[in-house]
């Protein structure tokens, strides 16, 4: 089913996590026994499928995307994989409009795979949403290998660098940059 969701992503020209990054997401969700997960950037459901496979059997994935077509494709992918509809909550909207309406300290993991210009705000909202020892993960941390190249000065690359530094400087967090796929920047709340 993940292969079908990945094929739909290619048709729609939507980036999705690599198989290695997906397996890491599944592992991390299983490690913390995640029951409630927020995903920013649904895509066609590739990362959601990986997360759901690592979450507790009664866990609920809340996925937010501004594109209704992406949510429709993800809903189809989840159904094809046998995921019961009550295990997913798909919300159309901007992350920064929807996240403030979600409950404080109610989530185990937040995956952010949206637009880099919102990363700083998404980090702060994630801190509010997560329970103690919750996990924040930013997908695409390497920015297609642009982040490590100091000659790259485009706004998205600068935003990614700023995020990496902000997380490293935040004493409330313990972070790791995982070199899988296009990079996963993970941080746990102390």
User: Residue 119's domain is classified under what CATH number?
Assistant: 3.40.50.150
pTM of the model: 0.95
Average pLDDT over every residue of 73-80: 97
pLDDT in tens, 26-65: 999 999 999 999 999 999 999 999 999 999 999 999 999 9
pLDDT at res. 114? 87
Structural domain that includes position 92: 2-189
Average pLDDT over every residue of 106-120: 93
The answer to whether residue 79 scores a pLDDT higher than 90 is: yes
- Given the structure tokens 């709340």, which residue do they identify? 189
Average pLDDT, the chain: 95
CA distance 41 to 63: 7
Using an 8 Å Cβ cutoff, are 46 and 2 in contact? yes
pLDDT in tens, 147-186: 889 999 999 999 999 999 999 999 999 999 999 999 999 9
Helices (H), 32-147: 46-54, 68-80, 95-98, 119-129
CA distance 122 to 162: 13
pLDDT at res. 157? 92
pLDDT at res. 121? 93
Residues 6+ apart with CB under 8 A from 80: 1, 4
Share of the chain above pLDDT 90, in %: 93
Total structural domains within the chain: 1
The answer to whether residue 80 scores a pLDDT higher than 90 is: yes
């Amino acid at each position: 089913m993940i292969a079908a969701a990945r094929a739909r992503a290619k048709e729609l020209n939507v980036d999705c996590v690599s198989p290695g990054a997906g397996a890491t997401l599944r592992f991390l969700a299983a490690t913390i026994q995640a029951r409630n997960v927020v995903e920013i950037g649904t895509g066609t459901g590739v990362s959601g499928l990986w997360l759901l496979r690592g979450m507790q059997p009664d866990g609920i994935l809340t996925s937010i995307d501004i594109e209704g077509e992406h949510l429709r494709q993800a809903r189809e992918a989840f159904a094809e994989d046998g995921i019961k509809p009550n295990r997913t909550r798909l919300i159309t909207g901007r992350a920064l409009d929807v996240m403030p309406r979600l409950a404080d300290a109610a989530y185990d993991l937040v995956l952010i795979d949206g637009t880099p210009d919102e990363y700083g705000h998404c980090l702060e909202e994630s801190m509010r949403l997560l329970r103690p020892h919750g996990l924040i993960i930013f997908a695409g941390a390497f920015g297609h290998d642009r982040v490590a190249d100091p000659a790259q000065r485009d706004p998205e690359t600068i935003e990614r660098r700023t995020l990496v530094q902000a997380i490293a400087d935040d004493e409330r967090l313990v972070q790791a940059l995982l070199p899988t796929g296009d990079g996963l920047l993970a941080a746990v709340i102390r």
